[in-house]
């Protein structure tokens, strides 16, 4: 197996004196899709924010290509993160901008090309997610699934090497969600991407995951393949993959 692109070592993360994650250690390998799962409030979003440099850890390290981003100055971090894309859970599109302008925004921020070149590049990325003819529309004119696809296109606009997806199929019906899973797999194939997908959708996990990392109680309780997860003896892992409710009346979470 090739050397990891990302190495996380003894990560401790939280907000102020509140610790959300601790003893977090794992690798992400070139070309794989690592899916991060766990119950509500387990720290999935906190981990994602730290992995993309939006929040510094309380301790530990996060290294990309052998370089620890927790020790970088802001300018150096910005240059490195040029190689990283992020698709936000809600799309985070600007309603005052057209679809094409939304996708071209990272290109403008990184100073890539002139206006016409950015327009062409944005359309190319929209083509990859099946929306090549939608560039002149506005986000409010799109369905939820189409907005997600635009978010995907923007995440890959600057040709990153690693892309993070935060709950890509949340709030969508199963058919639309299945279509997005196929887009993720196709983008990985076409662009030779490494991906991290945060989700709780079992169908998506079974469709896209090469490996699964499961969080519970602020720690990693499992990391491995889908087959290993489904045969795990760990009670929380089994509960998640067998969709078993907590004991008691219903699920009080």
User: pLDDT tens digits, residue range 45-66?
Assistant: 999 999 999 999 999 999 999 9
Flag whether pLDDT at 167 surpasses 70: yes
Flag whether pLDDT at 1 surpasses 70: no
Q: What pLDDT was estimated at residue 81?
A: 86
Residue 158 φ then ψ, to 5°: -95, 20
pTM beyond 0.85: the answer is: yes
Overall average pLDDT of the 92-111 stretch: 94
How many other C-beta atoms can be found within 10 angstroms of the C-beta atom of residue 18? Answer: 8
- Phi/psi-derived region of residue 128, left when phi > 0, alpha when psi is between -120 and 50, beta in every other case: alpha
Q: Exposed, middle or buried: residue 249 (CB in 10 Å: 0-12, 13-18, 19+)?
A: exposed
Overall average pLDDT of the 204-210 stretch: 96
Looking only at the bridges linking them, the beta strands covering 162-166 and 59-64 are unpaired
Tokens standing for 85?
A: 């894309």
Average pLDDT score over the chain:
92
Overall average pLDDT of the 5-26 stretch: 94
């Amino acid at each position: 197996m090739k050397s990891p692109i990302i190495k996380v070592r003894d990560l401790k993360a939280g907000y102020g004196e509140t610790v959300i994650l601790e003893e977090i250690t794992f690798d992400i390998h070139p070309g794989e899709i690592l899916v991060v799962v766990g119950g509500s409030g387990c720290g999935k979003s906190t981990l994602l924010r730290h992995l993309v440099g939006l929040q510094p850890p309380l301790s530990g390290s996060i290294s990309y290509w052998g370089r620890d981003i927790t020790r970088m100055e802001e300018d150096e971090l910005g240059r490195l993160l040029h190689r990283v894309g992020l698709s936000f859970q809600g799309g985070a599109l600007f309603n005052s901008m057209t679809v094409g302008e939304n996708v071209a925004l990272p290109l403008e921020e990184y100073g890539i090309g002139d206006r016409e070149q950015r327009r062409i590049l944005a359309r190319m990325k929209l083509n990859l997610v099946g929306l090549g003819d939608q560039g002149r529309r506005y986000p409010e004119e799109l369905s939820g699934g189409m907005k997600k696809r635009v978010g995907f296109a923007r995440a890959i606009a600057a040709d990153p090497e690693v892309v993070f997806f935060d709950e890509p199929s949340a709030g969508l019906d199963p058919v639309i969600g299945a279509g997005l899973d196929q887009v993720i797999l196709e983008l990985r194939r076409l662009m030779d991407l490494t991906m991290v997908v945060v989700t709780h959708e079992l169908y998506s996990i079974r469709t896209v995951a090469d490996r699964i990392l499961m969080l519970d109680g602020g720690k990693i309780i499992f990391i491995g393949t889908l087959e290993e997860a489904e045969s795990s003896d760990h009670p929380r892992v089994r509960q998640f993959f067998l969709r078993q409710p907590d004991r008691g009346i219903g699920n009080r979470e």
